[in-house]
Amino acid sequence: MSSLSVSTSPLPDEPFAADGVRVSRSAALQRYSLRARDPAKLAAVVGRELPGRIGGVTDGIAQLGPDEFLALLPVGTQLPSGEEEPVSVVDISSRAVGITVEGEGAAALIMSGCPLDLDRMAPGQATRTIYETVEMVLVRESETRFHIEVWRSFAPWLWQSLRLSAE
């Protein structure tokens, strides 16, 4: 017997906007957790260039630690498992959802609950951080646009907290 699994977003379809900021559900993504002690072997397995430093983002892949990467790729992108090499490539697409925060007030809204000084975070950087007590991965896509990756179970709370902070 086969079963059909349908994943729905825990976030509302409709974005919200406040003075200088817009918050919306990000487009669906294929997500992979990538781990390897030797990034060159991992790059060869996945067939993509990897960032050369923690916090860097290259070709949809963010380096979160010395041996830890997060790939945020278009839906349907398949990465090889790398079973022949000492690397880990795990599809984690169902674990998290994305939130886009954009506009002149985007950094200020995120900093209302995040301890980082986002004025010091350049576009093209990523980091693991928190918003109040919720762990998230934050990617600065441009001066006025951020992508937040948050676990599905925390997403409704984070959405509501951003909404209340924006009001």
Averages of pLDDT over each 10 residues, the chain, 167 residues: 59 90 95 93 92 95 96 92 85 94 97 96 96 96 97 96 93
Residues 102 and 24 occupy one common structural domain: yes
Residues 35 and 73 occupy one common structural domain: yes
Q: How many domains does the chain have?
A: 2
Residues 102 and 83 occupy one common structural domain: no
Q: Answer whether residue 62 is part of any domain.
A: yes
Range of the domain at 37: 29-91
pLDDT computed for residue 81 by the predictor? 81
pLDDT computed for residue 2 by the predictor? 44
Q: Under 8 Å CB-to-CB from 98, ≥6 apart: which residues?
A: 25, 26, 27, 29, 72, 147, 148, 149, 150
Residues 58 and 120 occupy one common structural domain: no
pLDDT computed for residue 13 by the predictor? 87
Residues 85 and 135 occupy one common structural domain: no
d(CA 121, CA 125): 7
Residues 83 and 109 occupy one common structural domain: no
pLDDT computed for residue 136 by the predictor? 97
Q: Answer whether residue 51 is part of any domain.
A: yes
Cβ atoms of 125 and 141 within 8 Å: the answer is no
Q: Answer whether residue 4 is part of any domain.
A: no
Residues 84 and 119 occupy one common structural domain: no
Q: What is the token pair recorded at 96?
A: 């998290």
Q: Which residues pair with 36 in a beta bridge?
A: 87
